[in-house]
Amino acid sequence: NAGVTQTPKFQVLKTGQSMTLQCAQDMNHEYMSWYRQDPGMGLRLIHYSVGAGITDQGEVPNGYNVSRSTTEDFPLRLLSAAPSQTSVYFCASSYGSGGTYEQYFGPGTRLTVT
């Protein structure tokens, strides 16, 4: 199994540009989530999904959209990039809801917005 994969690994955007961060898992996990990690802040939940067709907001959803058309994929879209979105983004998946099961994390996408 490849586990959780994320692309790209690195990305530089100009303010106002849009882009999609890709996340895929091959473990047939129902629960997927997106986090951002900033220095000294730990991980903050952006959006999560409990299954195909179902998404919900996390702690810091503004400026981001998600969709879940398949069990395997959970892309994160930045609508109009801002310097405050400079961060490392992690996708995670698990068998069930966030607290009860261990989360499997992808390797991350390092995003810089200039």
Partner 1 sequence: SQQGEEDPQALSIQEGENATMNCSYKTSINNLQWYRQNSGRGLVHLILIRSNEREKHSGRLRVTLDTSKKSSSLLITASRAADTASYFCATDPNDYKLSFGAGTTVTVRA
Among the residue ranges 16-24, 61-69, 74-82, 95-103, the one whose residues contact partner 1 (CB under 8 A): 95-103
Q: Is 99 in the site for partner 1 (CB under 8 A)?
A: yes
Among the residue ranges 22-30, 34-42, 66-74, 75-83, the one whose residues contact partner 1 (CB under 8 A): 34-42
Figure out which of the listed residues 59, 62, 77, 79 binds partner 1, where binding follows CB under 8 A. 59
Of 17 and 58, CB closest to partner 1: 58
Q: Is 45 in the site for partner 1 (CB under 8 A)?
A: yes
Radius of gyration of the chain (CA): 13
Q: Is 46 in the site for partner 1 (CB under 8 A)?
A: no
